[in-house]
Amino acid sequence: MKRSLAILGIIGLIVCLSFMVMTGCAKKSAVKDQAVSAEEKAAADRAAAKAEADTKARADQEARLAAEQRAKEEAEARVAPQAEAAAVKEEMTFKDVLFEYDKFSLKPESRDILKQLAEWLTNNRNNSVLIEGNCDERGTTEYNLALGERRAKEAMKYLVELGVDGKRIKTISYGKERPLDPGNTEEAWAKNRRDHFVVTSK
């Protein structure tokens, strides 16, 4: 009887130990599965974060390239009119028309200059001209403004006679306010009695 009880006890012990071992293994397996699952999730999160970062980087690069292209186009748009104006200025190299003291009639050499200007305007119909009448410092401001206007109008009249459309010509008088030479000698005064020509695009 005692032997039977001992055998039953041993068997029970073995069964308990087996159960404990099996339970322990199951727990280890569950822990291992949880670790693997967490690692996979972390890897998936990292991949998603990298994909999102790559997408943002591409979008930022595309936006930067688009902004650079817009800036380049805007710069070219600003430069084009300036280049055109510079080309016109370079082409237009006519001398000032000079006048005798207190006179507004055109001298022969002045008519030659105006003939060149008329020919240029005929060949460049998208351009107009502003004629600026100027005087030397002698005389009143009012008198010189009127004299400068007569000088500009006289040049305009001759250009029209040469075939230039009067609508393409404007005049203004600065009187003695814009001297080319600020000196008060005969030489300086002779330079300041002039019509100056400014070519503009339509």
Q: Does pLDDT of 48 surpass 60?
A: yes
Q: How many angstroms separate the CA atoms of 1 and 142, rounded? A: 149
Q: State the angle between helix axes of 141-161 and 108-123 in degrees (0 to 180), rounded to the nearest 10.
A: 60
Rg of the chain over Cα atoms, rounded to whole angstroms, equals 48
- Residue 167, C-beta contacts closer than 8 angstroms, at least 6 positions apart: none
- Range with the lowest mean pLDDT among 53-57, 98-102, 110-114, 152-156? 53-57
Question: What's the average model confidence in pLDDT over 22-26?
Answer: 56
Question: What's the average model confidence in pLDDT over 42-61?
Answer: 82
> Residue 85 — very low, low, confident or very high, per pLDDT cuts 50/70/90?
very low
Q: How many angstroms separate the CA atoms of 182 and 144, rounded? A: 16
The third-level CATH classification (topology) of the domain covering 92-201 is 60s Ribosomal Protein L30; Chain: A; (3.30.1330)
- Range with the lowest mean pLDDT among 61-75, 147-161, 188-202? 61-75
pTM of the shown model: 0.56
Domain spans, the chain: 32-83, 92-201
Q: Does pLDDT of 182 surpass 50?
A: yes
